Structure 1
Amino acid sequence: MRTLYVSQQNCYVCLQQETLLVKQGETIYGEVQLPLLEQVLIFGKSQVSTQAIRACLWRDIPITYLSRMGFCYGRILPIARGYRQLSRYQQQLSPVEKLISARAIVQAKLKNSRVLMRRQRKRLESQVIENVLQSLDYLANQAVGADSVERLIGFEGAGAAQYFSAFAECLTNTDFVFTARTRRPPGNPVNAMLSFGYQVLWNHLLALIELQGLDPYYACLHQAHDSHAALASDLIEEFRAPIVDSLVLWLVNSKVVNSQKDFDYRDGGCYLNDSGRRKYLQAFLQRMEEEIQTDSGEKQPKWDLLTQQVKAYKRFVYNPSFLYQPYQIR
């Protein structure tokens, strides 16, 4: 199944028989057959025809509207998505069951961050990275015994601060400077790519959560509110380092992105421009289509990891005795 990204500005998405076309005037930038489509992401100022929207709703294909920087404005969903049978089971999870799941999520995030740093240490001699490895190991062990979600969030925050303190050590392209993680707004090109990547991945997970019939507003670690689908924020944690952070390091160190040409500075922040978004999304798609070997010896694209984890969480909701096991890299 495919996701249709419309990142070029002022495009028009229309329906031609069983195919969505992305056009600008008479120029066709992309096309995808509806039976192969899982979701549509519209970045910035592009239009979708009523016929295309109706066809997507008929086939249970959500359409997401985002700013050019990746902020999600909202989603178009079929009416059936509003009736969630699993929501009742999610609400019935006990505080202990949710805490156990939250522990596993935080521990997996810290361990995945540590694995990525360990891989960087193999090619770089850095005492900073060595110190961060020890800190992440300690915090992951502490998370196992956390007696509240508040303490877990504290361990997660401390781990993120340690992790990003060493992130600059992993950047070998001197055109990119990174001193700390800044989000609202992102303060430099590295932060711009991290924020954009997390938003893209978050929206993918949100679509999968809805496709599986889960209620995205009932989670274990994060608190939901009217505009925050907390379950997507829970499930993204285990994928930040292996998918987004590793991709950003590759884009920078391989000089795929240009610090001057692929970013805009405005409104007090730094954001990917049209060319930067195209480069990022192209690399993201290629990365997610790569095959990896499972524990059973079979090969699967990285896309399947996302679906696999959402389904694992669904099994946990139906039967909490099957504890949720987050994805961990080795």
Structure 2
Amino acid sequence: MKPLLNTLFITTEGVYLNLNGDTIVIQKEKKVLARFPLHNFEQITVFGYTGASPALMQKCAEQNIVLNFMTPGGRFMARVIGKTNGNVLLRKEQYRCSDDEKKSLLYAQGFLVGKIYNSRWILERMLRDHSDRIEVERFRQGSMQLKQACRDIMQSESLDILRGIEGKSAKAYFSLFDAMILQQKEDFFFTERNRRPPLDRMNCLLSFLYALLANDAGAALEGVGLDSYVGFLHRDRPGRNSLALDLMEELRPVMADRLALALVNRKSICSQDFREESSGAVLLTDDGRKKVLKAWHDMKEGTVKHPYLKETVKWGLVPHTQALLLARALRGDLDAYPPFLWK
């Protein structure tokens, strides 16, 4: 349970939310775990199935406090809102910004600066921790190239230029990805990013983790009242969660790529956890999926100091904090969207 940005996040499973006067009471098996004054919050997000009392839901609706229900894994289930709510105004501003290339550019710059900055620090960590096992000069050059790309991103004047810089940066980063695979080299390798379908085990693992991250990003955006299908960098396409893809860009390196490398380098996953189809597609087996899902859940339970909020949060809450910051930027409460910059 942690208050952040006027939002109460409840991540303890098996709890029930009750109302006592103007206080929210968190209970588990009839034992009171915590109490919070309701007026302190604009939003309450619960990860679990047990639920909340009708009295609390009514009180939240009356006071325009959004009550979100997520599965323990972070999948969006439902939202309780009152008769009047700022989500309509927020979404209208989101749609206006999406239709305005100059405004879209500002948000897209934030997402991609976060992605390239975080990718660079993946390389820097390799230089720090494994300099005896990698080609140091190649990694230094790659790091400098990504550092310059961050500057170029902020000076770009169109989304097309932005995408060109992002493409070159991704090529530079992924050209070093195979060198970051330090174990099981015969079974796990990376030559290029491929998908739909993935054609090797590493791409299969990355694609699965990216899908999990996209789901979490979409749920986080829906939780703050944004439309996860209307993006700024990724443009509208039927059935595509464009804003979720935008938001996850800065989180790919630190939440998905790092975990994929850790699973392989720690030998937590092996070649037997994959199968190859006759078409050449490589898929996770049932046991392989279970291993990755457990690792994903364990990673989200870990903590990190949020670079903007300066507070320690669970990794699983990072998409939610970024969605809240994005909503605040769109409302005009922040001068600009602050990307998640890991180091």
Per the normalisation by structure 1, the TM-score is 0.75
What is the identity, as a one-letter code, of the residue corresponding to 2:51?
Answer: P
User: Which of 117, 124, 129 is the aligned partner of 1:118?
Assistant: 124
Give the number of the structure whose alpha-carbon radius of gyration is greater.
2
Unaligned regions of 5+ residues in structure 1, if any? 5-17, 19-31, 37-58, 64-73
Q: Write the distance in 1 (CA, Å) between the matches of 2:310 and 2:224.
A: 26
How far 1:301 moved relative to its partner?
1.0
Which of 201, 205, 209 aligns to 1:193? It is 205
Structure 1 residue 35 corresponds to structure 2 residue 51: yes
Q: Which moved more, 1:107-116 or 1:262-271?
A: 262-271
Q: Does 1:247 align with 2:259?
A: yes
Q: 2:281, 2:138 → 1: CA distance?
A: 28
Q: Among the aligned pairs, what percent are the same residue?
A: 28
**Is the 1:315–1:322 contact (alpha carbons within 8 Å) kept by the matching residues of 2?**
no
Shift of 1:205: 0.9
Aligned counterpart, 1:103: 109
Who is 1:12 aligned against?
none
Cα contact 2:76–2:223 (8 A) shared by 1: no
2:108 touches 2:233 (CA, 8 Å); kept in 1?
yes
Give the structure 2 partner of residue 307 of structure 1. Answer: 320
Paired with 1:293 and 1:3, the residues of 2 have a C-alpha distance of: 20
The one-letter amino acid paired with 1:110 is I
Count the aligned residue pairs.
271
Correspondence for 1:170 among 174, 180, 196: 180
In structure 2, how many angstroms separate the alpha carbons of the residues matched to 1:117 and 1:264? 30
Deviation at 1:196, TM superposition (A): 0.3
Contact 2:117 2:341 in 1 (8 A): yes
Distance 1:303 1:79, change over 3 A: closer
Structure 1 residue 208 and structure 2 residue 220: aligned?
A: yes
Deviates more, 1:205-214 or 1:127-136: 127-136
**Structure 2 counterparts to residues 1-330 of structure 1, below 5 A:** 1=10, 33-35=49-51, 61=69, 85=88, 86-93=90-97, 94-122=100-128, 123-124=130-131, 125-126=134-135, 127-173=137-183, 174=185, 175-259=187-271, 261-266=272-277, 267-294=279-306, 298-319=311-332, 322-330=335-343
CA deviation profile, 1:254-309 (whole Å, cap 9, x unmatched)? 000011x1001113211111111111111111111112234566422112211110
State the TM-score, normalized to the length of structure 2.
0.72
Query: Could you say which residue in structure 1 is the equivalent of 2:42?
Result: none
- Which amino acid is 1:158 matched to? K
Taking only aligned residues, the RMSD between alpha carbons, in angstroms, comes to 2.8
Tell me how far apart the structure 2 counterparts of residues 165 and 107 of structure 1 sit (CA, whole Å): 19
**1:211, distance to aligned residue in structure 2 (A):** 1.4
Distance 2:79 2:322 in 1: 24
Task: Please list every run of 5 or more consecutive structure 2 residues that lacks an aligned counterpart in the other structure.
Answer: 1-9, 14-27, 29-47, 53-66
SS at match of 2:51: helix
